[in-house]
Amino acid sequence: MPHLTLEYTTNLAGFDPRAALNSLNIALVESSQFEGPDIKSRAVASDCFQIGVGEVDVAFVHVNLSLLSGRTPQIKKDLSSRLLQALQKLVASSSPISTLEIQITVDVSDLDRDCYAKGSPRI
């Protein structure tokens, strides 16, 4: 725990999702809330997307961080800020100068601790 999902549009030239996941995981470890091996991250590319009505020069990068319930609002706000800062640095360094408007967002959501299940295969 936690689970991190990075969604991004494929019109972001130069965006490296693997490097992004690494930077986001580092931001989470630096928060002192998680150990590295506990973080499960994945990236999902969106090549079919719509932002607004007819806008063409727009892209997005969005992170959803799912946590077991119980953390304070302040801790969740801190995690959201850390992830947003990491994303802003990544996008700024990877995107060539263009007229593309890039929307960067982060959402931190709780998983119901009583309903979350985890298992491992028996070999």
In order of their start, the domains of the chain are 3-111 (3.30.429.10)
User: Taking residues 39-50, what's their average pLDDT?
Assistant: 94
Q: Which pLDDT score, from 0 to 100, does residue 110 have?
A: 94
pLDDT tens sequence across 78-106: 999 999 999 999 888 876 656 788 999 99
Mean of per-residue pLDDT scores for the chain: 91
Q: Quickly state the pLDDT bin for 121 (edges 50, 70, 90).
A: confident
The H or E element that residue 66 is part of is strand 58-68
- Reported confidence tier of residue 76, pLDDT bands at 50, 70, 90: very high
Q: What's residue 97's pLDDT? A: 56
End-to-end CA distance of the chain: 23
Q: What is the model's pLDDT at position 96?
A: 61
Angle between helices 17-30 and 73-94 (to 10 degrees): 150
